[in-house]
Amino acid sequence: MGVARASLRSLLPFLVGAPLFLLVQLALDAKGWDDWTIVLVSVGINVVLAVSLNVVNGFTGQFSLGHAGFMAVGAYTAAKITLAFAGTKIAFLPAALSDQVIFALALSAGMAAAALAGFLVGMPSLRLRGDYLAIVTLGFGEIIRSVIENMQFLGGALGLSGVPPLTNLVWAGVSVIATVVMARRLAVSTQGRALFAIREDEVAAEAMGVDTTGYKVRGFVISATYAGLAGGLFVHLHQIATPASFTFIRSFEVVVMVVLGGLGSVTGSVVAAAVLTIALEALREFEQYRMVVYAFLLIVLMLLRPQGIFGTREIWDVPLLRWARLGRGGPAPAPGGASPTEVRDESGRGGRA
Amino acid sequence: MTPSPLEVRAVTMRFGGLRALTAFELVMRPGELVGLIGPNGAGKTTAFNAITGVYTPTEGEVLVAGERVNGRRPHQICALGVARTFQNIRLFRELTALDNVRIACHAGARSGFFDALLLTARHRAEESRIVARAEEYLEVLGLAHRRDEVAKGLPYGEQRRLEIARALATGPKVLCLDEPAAGMNAAEKGALMALIRGIRDRFGIALLVIEHDMRVVMGVSERILVLDHGVTIAEGRPEAVRRDPKVVEAYLGDAYLEERNIAVPPGGDPGAAP
């Protein structure tokens, strides 16, 4: 019984969330609002990207700029698998369900491939800190993309087309839940605290028994895994996988979301990813100014609120909500979180001793 | 016979042409209180760094519980039972006092990432065990009331104590304190001395204390090593070291001795303060 209750508790967010997303999807289908489906699924994909990048940039305080590379690995792996199995039916399952099972396998394979890529890139890069790590991850991201571009069996620069449109709101929603649940449970666990310790002071973390190299690589692999998931969802939404979707610009977008929401804040990443995705969708006619908007946003943010919307806190720690939750007598809210520059200063300081 | 919790054999640290530490020798007995003193730049912190794995000794060897640890990473040496504090406080500033200590309880943790992800029974049992342990160390260091406060917001003296709590939580056999009294007032120093003895008595661990404040170091140490220009120039009981002419010349200065002889009777207990 204990085991049953424990697994129920561990799966509760999915049991509640999945039917909800299914209802919304059915309602949208009934109305024929396909554009809305695409926007909402895109929000979901960006939330998965932002929250997973936050594990490296926010929790661990390492500045990675290569998220699009891992997204690409997951995307191409998943697309290759669904394309290979297109038309194949698993004998004992109904046709619709068979596709979903294959999609689940493809997404899992994409995550595994991205995790492997994360490990291979993380092992050598994570010896570096701050700006150097940012440059190296940026380089690796571009290497992954150009390798894909030059592989004929992956379609070269044209990419893979005819990918089945399997991503829907349920898949995106469940992926968001999986990512957010992972990040939150990580944040309140021994493993998560080890990552925070590295962000705060690497030398002290090492002296207190934290295997800093090991944990940095682990954080990086976890982050890459979920980027792979986002990639798999992405190609099965747009039905095409091209190298052009996974350039440095994509990594940069995700970094903007994480910084905007607050480095280390899971809910901040969720909010920022949703707001930015919807805002850019609403301003589609100004698409060519996208990068200008991002740059402008970052400048304003650094001037007005360098720690991001939520800092390292979560949405339920915001003073107003705390007050509502705890009443007047509640403990004072923690002071604002570290700004990204402070975080990088910390890691720089770690390098001196 | 159990091996010494910490044994340093003829360790020399060279940085380019500079010899920061020359043939440093130290054998700690379990539960012993050893003071390490010397003028600025004498090599005290270098000795700490060589012991705790921040540096790899150029020559000689460091043994923790009988095991040679040259070239091991600091977290591995920590796991073998040597913990430390830092001269310039290095707390996890944005985290709460509890989290600071919980991170140090990490070494014995057996549950992994997937346990945390799936909230397994093992994970939950371990988390509550860690909280209980961390609270115990906060309690011992008189920081229980600061449990949920962010480290950087604590008063200076409490930050020092939190660093000690954090180091203790790693479960060391030897605790190295790097200038624990720096920046404290007289009353706090008195309390610190009582605390250092209390830690030894309660946890039965050996302490190696770098300290500039003579009152503190003479008051708590059972044995003192004096470094000057990286060389151990004296070693022995506090009374003997205090009168050693080499030590007086290198470090204490004649004025110190005069002041001591006039102001405080030898053997007076400065640790009686709160």
SS3 of A137-176: HHHHHHHHHHHHHCCHHHCCCCCEECCCCCCCHHHHHHHH
Structure confidence at residue A353 (pLDDT): 29
State how beta strands B174-178 and B33-37 pair: unpaired
Query: Is the predicted pLDDT of residue B140 greater than 70, yes or no?
Result: yes
Structure tokens at B241: 């070291």
Of residues A300 and A94, which shows the higher confidence score?
Answer: A300
Q: Where is average pLDDT lowest: B83-92, B162-171, B241-250?
A: B241-250
| A249 Cβ under 8 Å from any chain B Cβ | no
Residue of B95, B106, B112 with shortest CB distance to A209: B106
Distances (CA, A) of A234 to A30, A126, A178: 23, 28, 16
Structure confidence at residue A98 (pLDDT): 86
The mean pLDDT of A299-325, rounded to a whole number, is 77
Confidence tier at B42 by pLDDT (50, 70, 90): confident
Structure confidence at residue B210 (pLDDT): 93
Structure tokens at B107: 């070494």
Confidence tier at B254 by pLDDT (50, 70, 90): low
Q: Which residues of A touch B48 (CB under 8 A)?
A: none
Q: Where is average pLDDT lowest: A208-212, A309-313, B256-260?
A: B256-260
Structure confidence at residue B110 (pLDDT): 73
Confidence tier at A315 by pLDDT (50, 70, 90): confident
Confidence tier at A78 by pLDDT (50, 70, 90): very high
CATH architecture of the domain with residue range A2-247: Orthogonal Bundle (1.10)
> Over the stretch A220-255, which tens digit does the pLDDT of each residue have?
999 999 999 999 999 999 999 999 999 998 999 999
Query: Is the predicted pLDDT of residue B64 greater than 90, yes or no?
Result: yes
Counting residues of chain B whose pLDDT is more than 70, the rounded percentage is 90
Residue of B83, B99, B103 with shortest CB distance to A210: B103
d(CA B43, CA B24): 10
Confidence tier at B270 by pLDDT (50, 70, 90): very low
Contacts of B53 (CB under 8 A, 6+ apart): B69, B72, B73, B74, B76, B77
Which candidate in B76, B113, B128, B177 is best for mutational testing of the A interface (most A CBs within 10 A)? B113
The residue among A218, A226, A228 whose CA lies nearest residue A195 is: A218
Q: Where is average pLDDT lowest: A45-59, A290-304, B26-40, B187-201?
A: A290-304
DSSP string, chain B: -PPPSEEEEEEEEEETTEEEEEEEEEEEPTT-EEEEE-STTSSHHHHHHHHHTSS--SEEEEEETTEE-TT--HHHHHHHTEEE--SS----TTSBHHHHHHHHGGGG----HHHHHHT-HHHHHHHHHHHHHHHHHHHHTT-GGGTTSBGGGS-HHHHHHHHHHHHHTT--SEEEEESTTTT--HHHHHHHHHHHHHHHHHH--EEEEE-S-HHHHHHH-SEEEEEETTEEEEEE-HHHHHH-HHHIIIIIHHHHHHHHHHHS-TT--GGG--
| A48 Cβ under 8 Å from any chain B Cβ | no
Contacts of A289 (CB under 8 A, 6+ apart): none
Confidence tier at A319 by pLDDT (50, 70, 90): low
d(CA A54, CA B147): 26
Q: Which residues of B touch A337 (CB under 8 A)?
A: 94
Q: Using an 8 Å Cβ cutoff, are B143 and B158 in contact?
A: yes
With the CA atoms of A352, B5, B10 and B11 taken in that order, what torsion angle do they form, in degrees rounded to the nearest 10?
-10
Contact B74 A193 (CB under 8 A): no
Question: ipTM of the assembly?
Answer: 0.87
Structure confidence at residue B271 (pLDDT): 38
With the CA atoms of A74, A79, A80 and A83 taken in that order, what torsion angle do they form, in degrees rounded to the nearest 10?
160
Counting residues of chain A whose pLDDT is more than 90, the rounded percentage is 53
Structure confidence at residue B14 (pLDDT): 92
Residue of B86, B109, B118 with shortest CB distance to A10: B118
Domain ranges (residues) in chain B: 1-81+172-274, 93-171
Residues 48-67 of B with CB under 8 A from A: 49, 52, 54
Structure confidence at residue B172 (pLDDT): 94
Report the SS3 class of residue A194.
helix
Mean pLDDT of chain B: 87
Of residues A174 and A128, which shows the higher confidence score?
Answer: A174
Residues 88-147 of B with CB under 8 A from A: 90-96, 99, 102-104, 106-107, 109, 111-113, 115-121, 123, 126-127, 130
Chain centroid to Cα A292, Å, comes to 23
Q: Which residues of A touch B75 (CB under 8 A)?
A: 206-212
Query: Is the predicted pLDDT of residue A86 greater than 60, yes or no?
Result: yes
> Over the stretch B17-37, which tens digit does the pLDDT of each residue have?
889 999 999 999 999 999 999
Query: Is the predicted pLDDT of residue A193 greater than 90, yes or no?
Result: yes
Q: Which residues of B touch A196 (CB under 8 A)?
A: 92, 94-95, 99, 103
Query: Is the predicted pLDDT of residue A335 greater than 60, yes or no?
Result: no
Residue of A204, A218, A335 with shortest CB distance to B90: A204
**How many Cβ atoms sit within 10 Å of the Cβ of residue A36?**
15
Confidence tier at B242 by pLDDT (50, 70, 90): confident
Residue of A208, A222, A331 with shortest CB distance to B104: A208
Query: Is the predicted pLDDT of residue A349 greater than 50, yes or no?
Result: no
Structure confidence at residue B259 (pLDDT): 61
Which candidate in B64, B94, B177 is best for mutational testing of the A interface (most A CBs within 10 A)? B94
Domain ranges (residues) in chain A: 2-247
Please give the residue of chain B at the shortest CA–CA distance from A221.
Answer: B113
Phi-psi region of B36 (alpha: psi -120 to 50; beta: other; left: phi over 0): beta
Q: Which residues of A touch B78 (CB under 8 A)?
A: 206-209
Structure confidence at residue B118 (pLDDT): 85
Structure confidence at residue B256 (pLDDT): 63
Contact B73 A209 (CB under 8 A): no
The mean pLDDT of A271-283, rounded to a whole number, is 88
| B83 Cβ under 8 Å from any chain A Cβ | yes
Query: Is the predicted pLDDT of residue A338 greater than 70, yes or no?
Result: no
User: Among the CATH numbers 3.30.300.30, 3.40.50.300, 3.10.290.10, 3.40.50.970, which is that of B1-81+172-274?
Assistant: 3.40.50.300
The mean pLDDT of A251-269, rounded to a whole number, is 92
State how beta strands A160-161 and B33-37 pair: unpaired
> Over the stretch A151-170, which tens digit does the pLDDT of each residue have?
888 988 889 998 999 999 99
Phi, then psi, of A260 in degrees rounded to 5: -60, -45
d(CA B246, CA B234): 8
Contacts of A327 (CB under 8 A, 6+ apart): none
Structure confidence at residue B244 (pLDDT): 85
Mean pLDDT of chain A: 85
Confidence tier at A285 by pLDDT (50, 70, 90): confident
Structure confidence at residue A337 (pLDDT): 41
> Over the stretch A19-74, which tens digit does the pLDDT of each residue have?
888 888 888 888 888 888 899 999 999 999 999 999 999 999 999 999 999 999 99
**How many Cβ atoms sit within 10 Å of the Cβ of residue B51?**
25
Report the SS3 class of residue A129.
coil
d(CA A30, CA A28): 5
Confidence tier at A2 by pLDDT (50, 70, 90): low
Contact A209 B75 (CB under 8 A): yes
| A9 Cβ under 8 Å from any chain B Cβ | yes
The residue among A138, A125, A129 whose CA lies nearest residue A68 is: A138
Please give the residue of chain B at the shortest CA–CA distance from A211.
Answer: B75
Query: Is the predicted pLDDT of residue A342 greater than 90, yes or no?
Result: no
pTM of the prediction? 0.86
Q: Which residues of A touch B107 (CB under 8 A)?
A: 209
Q: Where is average pLDDT lowest: B77-86, B125-134, B243-252?
A: B243-252
Residue of B92, B113, B118 with shortest CB distance to A201: B92
The mean pLDDT of B188-192, rounded to a whole number, is 90
Please give the residue of chain A at the shortest CA–CA distance from B46.
Answer: A353
Structure confidence at residue B261 (pLDDT): 57
Query: Is the predicted pLDDT of residue B235 greater than 60, yes or no?
Result: yes
Structure confidence at residue A137 (pLDDT): 93
How many A/B residue pairs have CB atoms within 8 Å?
A: 119
Confidence tier at A148 by pLDDT (50, 70, 90): very high
Structure confidence at residue A13 (pLDDT): 87
Contact B106 A210 (CB under 8 A): yes
Residue of A204, A206, A335 with shortest CB distance to B153: A335
Query: Is the predicted pLDDT of residue A287 greater than 50, yes or no?
Result: yes
Phi-psi region of B196 (alpha: psi -120 to 50; beta: other; left: phi over 0): alpha
